[in-house]
A and B are shown apart, each in its own frame.
Chain A
């Protein structure tokens, strides 16, 4: 008896369902911050899954590479993080290329963390800062192409550039460009270090694709790791130039 009532209800329900329409009656949307107030006591299956990976990761990435004298903060058009990064790329590309590199550039979006705390800096920090498999390469650019690249940088609000290069952003263009306090020389070729991502046309830099690349063959994060170990070996401290480069 009970069974047949249930069956009836089920049939009625199915028939009703086939001829009826679902209306959206009410909607509520919220964004719940994943903070510690949601933490439960006790071990969890998820934690158990993570532990073996975490242990292996930390033994590899926990290596302390140096001591950061101040917080690095990412910003545009200028920031201490951007200055430090571009200057390190310039120093290292000169190490690889017999002191012939003039300028180093890093696309803003390529730096992946907004903040790096003062204190011990680990290999893992550098992986988070620059996780991509981008290699450091060098391009020879005439003044026209360099202007075009700097226009692109200006148009996107400014990227990290190395010490010695300055310009002003005016209506999405790079103006008043100075390299070592001199105007750009139309007859000169500038040697510019950058991630292969940019040289291969990323970041709307399609105009660089055709230009011959000199590869260091080294991932940018490994370049920075090598830079930090060089400092350590030479008993040099990490220094951060805070000069304003883009106006």
Chain B
């Protein structure tokens, strides 16, 4: 009797997993990429993103907890590799709080976390408040293991060991798409002790993210601008969030967020200062989710898009 129940539960679990996978396939099937693949004017970009991985090198233990068996670097690397095999233009980003949460960080100071991200070929990351947990010098020590840049537009590191080691933006040329990326970090006061930030100055995130975004769009002619944000998605009080960032800027197309560990079932579409739509996305925490944003671009000489839909996202 007991055995039957167990086997029922296993069947049920298998069924649930299948249906999760099934619904994902369905979601991508709805998206008419195949129809455009022959059109030379259409380019596809796939953006993958994580945030707040918090040193979760291994999946959560099978202890009956809500997250048991989820996440883990080996699996994430496989998922990313599978997508890279299928897709031509892939960018991979993290929105900060790479460090702190398992003894891997306490024992090795974040070395393994950064090495794994390099191995997975992350293209860029921003810094979260917990990435200061070993101090700016502790972070600096791990930078040698990073073969990708850290992007923060609104921290002034000029009086610290990180001076000129953190970039304000990075440009990626894929196919004929020029993608600009900047980053923005949260107010550090009251989150991180001064003894760890060691003279890092926090600057207005909206002003500085927009300054970089405008430069990327206007001066560099980027087709699309992404902001990696550790501001947090939304707060009950008036603390600056990704929603503020979205509504008060003009040149950001996509905000990949973090800090609030927000699990989204769909991205949040907001209107920016000019009334244009932009996307806010965040992928939970601990590597439980891999966020995936697929974008089709149509290139033409007229200032008009033939394949564009009026609805931004269904």
Contact = CB atoms under 8 A, between A and B. Distances in A.
Partners in one complex: yes
B101 A112 contact: yes
Interface string A46-79: 1101100110110011000000000100000000
Contact of B75 (A23, A38, A132): A38
B28 A30 contact: yes
B240 interface: no
Interface string B221-240: 00110000000000000000
Among B61, B104, B105, B283, the one with the most A-chain Cβ atoms within 10 Å of its Cβ is B104
Contact of A57 (B77, B104, B289): B104
Contacts of B57: 50, 53-54
Given A22-B43, A30-B292, A33-B288, A203 B190 contact: yes
Which secondary structure dominates chain A's binding surface? mixed
16 contacts: A21-B299, A26-B296, A27-B312, A28-B31, A34-B70, A34-B71, A34-B288, A34-B289, A44-B78, A45-B119, A49-B115, A57-B104, A117-B65, A123-B103, A128-B101, A131-B103
Given A28-B293, A31-B289, A46-B77, A57 B307 contact: no
Nearest to A36: B69
A112 B266 CA distance: 26
B177 interface: yes
A120 to B, nearest CB: 10
Interface residue range, chain B: 35 or more
Q: Which 8 A-B pairs have the closest CB atoms?
A: A23-B305, A117-B63, A22-B223, A115-B65, A25-B296, A127-B103, A25-B298, A26-B296
A30 B308 contact: no
B107 A57 contact: yes
Contact of A61 (B28, B36, B70, B103): B103
Contacts of A114: 65-66
Contacts of A30: 24, 27-28, 291-292
Given A32-B292, A50-B74, A197-B193, A21 B300 contact: yes
B264 interface: yes
B275 interface: no
A62 B188 CA distance: 34
Contact of B100 (A32, A46, A60, A131): A131
A86 to B, nearest CB: 21
Contacts of B203: none
A6 interface: no
B42 interface: yes
Interface in A123-144: 123-124, 127-128, 131-133
B101 A22 contact: no
Contacts of B313: 27-29
Nearest to B298: A25
A39 interface: yes
B103 A128 contact: yes
B37 interface: no
B161 interface: no
A61 B102 CA distance: 10
B119 A46 contact: yes
Contact of B299 (A20, A119, A127, A133): A20
B176 interface: yes
Nearest to A126: B103
A200 interface: yes
Contacts of B283: 31
A34 B287 contact: yes
Contacts of B31: 26, 28
A40 B78 contact: yes
B5 interface: no
Contacts of A44: 74, 77-78
Interface string B39-74: 000110000000000100111010111100111111
Contact of B20 (A17, A20, A33, A39): A33
Nearest to B266: A29
B34 interface: no
Contacts of A57: 103-104, 107-108
B79 interface: yes
B106 A131 contact: yes
A37 interface: yes
A206 B191 CA distance: 11
A31 B106 contact: no
Given A25-B296, A27-B312, A119-B63, 12 more contacts: A24-B253, A24-B305, A25-B42, A26-B31, A26-B308, A27-B279, A30-B27, A31-B289, A34-B76, A34-B79, A35-B70, A50-B74
